[in-house]
Amino acid sequence: MGSTVFDSGLFRDMFGTAEMRAIFADTALVARYAEVEAALARAQAKLGVIPLSASAKISEAAAYLTIDMERMRRETEIVGYPILPLVHQLAEASGDAGGYVHWGATTQDIMDSATVLQIRAALVLVERDLRELRVILQDLAHRHRTTPMAGRTHLQHALPITFGYKAAIWLSSIERHIERLEQAKPRVLLGSFSGAAGTLASVGAQGLEMQRLFCEELGLHQPSITWHVARDGLAEAVSLLGLITGTLGKIATDVMLMCATEFGELAEPFVHGRGASSTMPQKRNPISSELMLAAAKAVRQHVATMLDGMIHDFERATGPWHLEWVSLPESFLLTGASLAQAKFMLAGLVVDEARMRENLGLTGGLIVAEAVMMAAAPNLGRQHAHDLVYDACRVGIEQKRALADVVLENPELVAALGGAEAARAKCDPAGYLGLAAEMTDRVTGRG
């Protein structure tokens, strides 16, 4: 039975996904180590540093190696790192070519390159989910581009907006994350082969060419210089996940608030029993949104850890490196889970347009006081118009009357607004949506 939410049989699919777990599983990680060792052997064979026959045997052994995980665990606890234990088993499986395994490399070269291979595979999933989420939000925003609702600032009615406009703002962040992810790849997806202190002294003058061929074998970018203690690339990867989950947390917060009974404007997709209470049969809790928000808060802590872990001492760290072993997998698991929850929740989101319109009218038109003021200003001057509308608002609040009814009692305002019919129209919140629909179309690319 698992001891954390990430390996728990109960919680693991709420805080991760099967696809992402497969990337960061022990067996997959060890396979990456072996893959990196084989790529190094092939690169060295191309330069004649080790025999071609040795490279072939090492590559074959790496591809079909059955790791004794219990032996590897025991040796890893003794050594402190898993690469020497892996080299022992790979060398044994390579027969007479075993002496060429790990030629000129250092433990961190193998571990860092394997980590980057994991990140590359994980980013494929993140990018796929972001692109799928983009389509879901495009559809949602376009469908509700003219659906009026109350815009809220400081949790109070501010001005009317449309729900499509709100969804398009969510979408705009997702678009930027897709762009950021693509831009980050050349900085993050770097191979690592530099030797003990990063100078490639163990392999001589051919070192940089060997490094190039090694990176080419793995499909990774060649670094300009060793990055054993320059961890900004990995910190950037987790920071990107922090940005992504931060956006999902914002979306989740909006949805949760709008699902509240007093708002009643949204509901998460109905699945029998989902979000149910053990004592209150009426409950339909926003579970997906809650998990998205939890993921955002957890990944944020890992971003801080990765930034702290950038501070390495001299040419090889005495401990900060180990922080990555915790934060990287958990950040990707949480991000994968949050994206999966977001896709499910937003694809089936229930939008109550009638309740949005009802809530928009809660203040009896006070939400468009600005509209009335700006419409009267050309004839009255802005400040005088402001004062008249301000007084009308106070009357409306104190007497619990609609703004339109109060305005119609003021001949000066009615005249400035162009008559009674025009005055009543200016007090209709649905008529003061600004360029919400046009802005939505700019983001969705639809009209």
Active site residues: 154, 277
Separation of alpha carbons 394 and 435, rounded Å: 28
Cα separation of 254 and 175, whole Å?
19
Dihedrals phi, psi of 159, to nearest 5 degrees: -140, 160
Other C-beta atoms lying within 10 Å of the C-beta of residue 445: 8
Amino acid identity, residue 394?
R
Q: Of 279, 282, 283, 284, whose CA–CA distance to 345 is shortest?
A: 284
Question: Which single residue is written with the structure tokens 């118009």?
Answer: 385
Quick one: tokens of 356? 């949005």
Rg (CA), the chain: 30
Distance of CA 6 to the CA centre of its chain: 18
Residue with tokens 């203040």: 363
Query: CA dist 265 to 242, 366, 392, Å?
Result: 28, 20, 29
Token pair 């994350």 in the structure block, residue: 177
Closest CA to 429 of 369, 346, 383: 369
How many C-alpha atoms does 148 have within 13 Å on its Cβ side? 17
C-alpha 188, offset from chain centre: 16
